[in-house]
Structure 1
Amino acid sequence: MATRKRSTVWLYFDHIDQNPSKVKCQACGETVQHSGNTSNMLKHLKKKHPVESAEIEAKRKEDATASTSACRPTTSRQTTLHDCFSKAGRYPDESPKAKSLTSKLLKMIAVDLQPLSIVDDQGFREFAREMDPRYVLPSRRSLVRTDFPQLFQRAQSDVKSILTEVSDRDITLTTDLWTSRAGEAYMSLTCHYISKDWKFRSHILSTSHLPGEHTAHAIAEKLTTEAEEWGI
């Protein structure tokens, strides 16, 4: 007896062990009743996540075309890597490969100053899926609430560890005050020092909101607070 093919929609939902009749959307965290079929899941994606819904529809058409083509004679029995990867299923979220790809994604966003919304852009999602269909991009919500806060904590810990090896009197701090388009003031704090191998190093320690008047006293207080946070 042939095994029934699992719907692509399951790439976007997780089972809830405590409530088997419901599933959790990976993009927004909302729970959806599935009752043994995927109708409600598809409706949820179509209403709340049109990009993912379009991806599923495109995959459905691709599968239909492939099924039709399979009935025709072919001169090659070679399967593409993309097809092999698609059949292999998605990477588990905690797998080393998924973590590695997410880490590279975070680095790209940070280094290239990309907006977090890039993970919602249709073109980027299609590119990522073509590169590796087994990898599911994290949602913007996940980036904001989990991935980047964890990355910041790791980076902060690493920099603090480095700065403990540098004497306070050998560290120079510089600040940059600027105003956003919305008229809100911010202060960026950067530290500079000469490393043990005689190389000039700099680390941007923070960019924080600076409310109220920008008096010398207010800036000094903010600078002191930030320096204490970094153990300088």
Structure 2
Amino acid sequence: MITLHLRHFSIVEDRGFRLLIDKLEPHYDIPHRTSFSASIIPDLFAKQQTRVKQTIHNDSHPALGMASDIWSSRANDSFISLTVHYLTEDFKMKRYLLDTPYFPEAHTVENILTKWDEVMEMFDVDGSKIKLFSVNDNARNIQAALKRIQNIVPAIPCFGHTLQLGINDAVKNVPGLSNNLQIE
């Protein structure tokens, strides 16, 4: 529940939650929130990471599609995400968010490549042995980083992101356009 619905660990200390669990199973001793943050959630992550690693390596696929983005939280903390996508031999789409690590460093090409390498290594994906495709936003630092990856097909800009940039430019530069559009 905590990971599925992105709830705070402290939910296990809420009176209502405790009453609910007591009704369901009066003899169950709810672990302390630090147990969730220190061992239960990290153990779940490790099991899921192992499962994803095995799936990626056991599935037969000639290439991986990559997507990455750098974004900031409401608290202005910076993160970088990396996902992989591929089709299996029987044309089933598989996609996995590999990681979204904290990224307080400057968003330089070198730092982006370092983070990507760390994530790819964590999942035993060797970019020199498999063809890589990439769809990303139009950020120069991401595009420059992609040009340095050896076995990658030229990056494809994200259509949705490109369209949004065009719409924003049109609204900003065409007088009265925003009056005719429903923009929130």
TM range (shorter): 0.5 to 0.7
Equivalence for 1:164: 57
AA partner of residue 76 (structure 2) = G
TM-score norm. by structure 1 comes to: 0.50
Q: 1:114 aligns with which of 1, 4, 7?
A: 7
Alignment of 1:97-176 (within 5 A): 108-166=1-59, 169-176=62-69
Equivalence for 1:4: none
Equivalence for 1:212: 105
After superposition, the Cα gap between the structure-2 partners of 1:214 and 1:169, relative to the gap in structure 1 and judged at 3 Å, is farther
| Higher RCO by CA contacts (8 Å cutoff, separation 6 or greater) | 2
Equivalence for 2:155: none
How far the C-alpha of 1:177 sits from its partner, in A, is 1.3
Tell me the distance in 2 between the aligned counterparts of 1:111 and 1:125.
19
Q: Give the SS at the match of 1:188.
A: strand
Q: 2:76 aligns with which of 160, 180, 183?
A: 183
Aligned-pair identity (%):
34
How far the C-alpha of 1:121 sits from its partner, in A, is 1.0
Q: Give the SS at the match of 1:111.
A: coil
Tell me the distance in 1 between the aligned counterparts of 2:28 and 2:116.
42
After superposition, the Cα gap between the structure-2 partners of 1:196 and 1:169, relative to the gap in structure 1 and judged at 3 Å, is closer
Tell me the distance in 1 between the aligned counterparts of 2:95 and 2:10.
29
> Considering only CA atoms, is the larger Rg found in Structure 1 or Structure 2?
1
After superposition, the Cα gap between the structure-2 partners of 1:168 and 1:220, relative to the gap in structure 1 and judged at 3 Å, is farther
Give per-residue Cα distances to partners, 1:99-158, cap 9 Å, x unaligned: xxxxxxxxx221112111110111111111111112121110100111111111111111
Tell me the distance in 2 between the aligned counterparts of 1:164 and 1:114.
32
TM-score norm. by structure 2 comes to: 0.63
Structure 1 stretches lacking a partner, 5+ long:
1-107
How far the C-alpha of 1:193 sits from its partner, in A, is 1.0
Alignment of 1:31-46 (within 5 A): none
What root-mean-square deviation, in Å, do the aligned CA atoms of Structure 1 and Structure 2 show?
1.6
How far the C-alpha of 1:226 sits from its partner, in A, is 1.1
How many residue pairs get aligned? The number is: 125
Structure 2 stretches lacking a partner, 5+ long:
126-184
Give per-residue Cα distances to partners, 1:27-71, cap 9 Å, x unaligned: xxxxxxxxxxxxxxxxxxxxxxxxxxxxxxxxxxxxxxxxxxxxx
2:114 maps to 1:221: yes
- More helix by percentage: 1
How far the C-alpha of 1:168 sits from its partner, in A, is 7.0
After superposition, the Cα gap between the structure-2 partners of 1:161 and 1:113, relative to the gap in structure 1 and judged at 3 Å, is same
Kindly indicate whether the alpha-carbon contact (under 8 Å) linking 2:22 and 2:28 is maintained by their aligned counterparts in 1: yes
